[in-house]
Amino acid sequence: MNDTLANDATEDHTGGGDITDAVGLILTQWARVRPDVDCSPMGVVGRISRASRLLEKGIKEHFSEHDLEPWEFDVLATLFRSNPEHRLCMSDLASAAMVSSAALTNRVDRLVARGLVHREVSPANRRMVLITLTDEGRAMVDTLLEGHVANEERLLAGLTAEDREQLAGLLRKLLASLGDAPSR
């Protein structure tokens, strides 16, 4: 690392204190080259983005140990918790999974091939496709849930319970302001 970068990594040129993360370094660099621009929004958005990538990496590593992709668990878990029949129509499942219908069709195809879900045309409406967990799919979600939660606990170990509650509240407020709402 060159001397300038080494100094930037430990010294906040804006006078705000030590830099403790990669985004702090980026903000310090921007403050040095463009002191006329308030880059503080980058501190929030950049940290959320970096945290998301790091959390996704930790979740992906956990599920790979069980020969499962995170999106597979997400679809299976959505079906598991949605209703006692563990069944949803494709449009409701796509909305809950926040993916397009085309992407969900591909995902469901893969889960059907693995024997984790069953796809059928609704007897009440032939235009509606229903996706139901198989016994194997239900058992997989039930088995993996506790390990998944323990992994998330491990990923959040750097925060106290109070920190988590405060962060969850702030993220809830941000998501609502961005138009995120539960799908029904």
Average pLDDT in the chain: 88
Report CA 144 to chain centroid distance, whole Å: 17
Phi, psi of 156 (to 5 degrees): -100, 10
Q: What is the mean pLDDT of residues 138-160?
A: 96
Query: What pLDDT score does 183 carry?
Result: 66
* DSSP designation for 41: H
Per the DSSP assignment, residues forming a β-bridge with 130 are 89, 120
pLDDT in tens, 171-181: 999 999 999 88
Angle between helices 101-113 and 70-82 (to 10 degrees): 90
Chain segment 31-80, per-residue pLDDT in tens: 999 999 999 999 999 999 999 999 999 999 999 999 999 999 999 999 99
Percent of the chain scoring above 70 in pLDDT: 89
Contact 29, 37 (CB under 8 A): no
Please report which confidence band the pLDDT of residue 98 belongs to, taking 50, 70 and 90 as the band edges: confident
CA-atom Rg of the chain in angstroms: 22
Going along the chain from its start, the domains and CATH numbers come out as 1-38 (no CATH), 41-184 (1.10.10.10)
| Residue 97 contacts residue 75 (beta carbons within 8 Å) | yes
Residue 22 above 60 pLDDT? yes
Please state, in angstroms and rounded to a whole number, the distance separating the CA atoms of residues 133 and 135. 7
pTM of the predicted model as reported, rounded to 2 decimal places: 0.80
pLDDT confidence band for 184 (50 / 70 / 90): low
Please say if the pLDDT value at position 2 is more than 50.
no
Residues 6+ apart with CB under 8 A from 90: 101, 104, 105, 108, 128, 129, 130, 131
Mean pLDDT of 125-141: 94
Quote the CA–CA distance of 160 and 48 in Å, as a whole number: 18
Give me the amino acid identity at 24.
G
Phi-psi region of 14 (alpha: psi -120 to 50; beta: other; left: phi over 0): alpha
> pLDDT at position 176, please?
94
